[in-house]
Amino acid sequence: MKEKPDVIVFEFTCDPWSLIQNVNIAKSEEFAAQVRLVRTRRLAMLRWIARVQSWQERRRAHFLVENPSTSLAWKQFCMRAMQEENYVTITDLC
């Protein structure tokens, strides 16, 4: 990476990971397939976030990842180490 920022803030859409999608998935197999497809595509973004977070950590720089605490994105394998190895806080900005 050319730039070496002190802080990186990540924010990603929660729509495919939101709990309401579980309700929608139950409505039809067609909708369930659409949600699974979007989640699979967005997994690449989560993996990228995890790689950049790891890079920041190795440089002793800072990062912040914003997504609802109930987001299923946090349960993805690539996001687990981030939560286990760092300080995690939950805030409500609504």
Whether 18 is in a domain gets the answer yes
pLDDT of residue 87: 79
What's the whole-model pTM score?
0.83
pLDDT of residue 92: 65
Whether 2 is in a domain gets the answer no
Block means of pLDDT (10 residues each) for the chain, 94 residues, are: 88 87 87 92 94 93 90 91 82 64
Whether 27 is in a domain gets the answer yes
Whether 4 is in a domain gets the answer no
SS3 62: strand
Name the residue range of residue 38's domain: 13-85
Q: How far apart are CA 1 and CA 67, in angstroms?
A: 25
Whether 1 is in a domain gets the answer no
Here the tokens at position 90 are 């939950």
Whether 71 is in a domain gets the answer yes
Whether 63 is in a domain gets the answer yes
Whether 74 is in a domain gets the answer yes
Count of domains in the chain?
Answer: 1
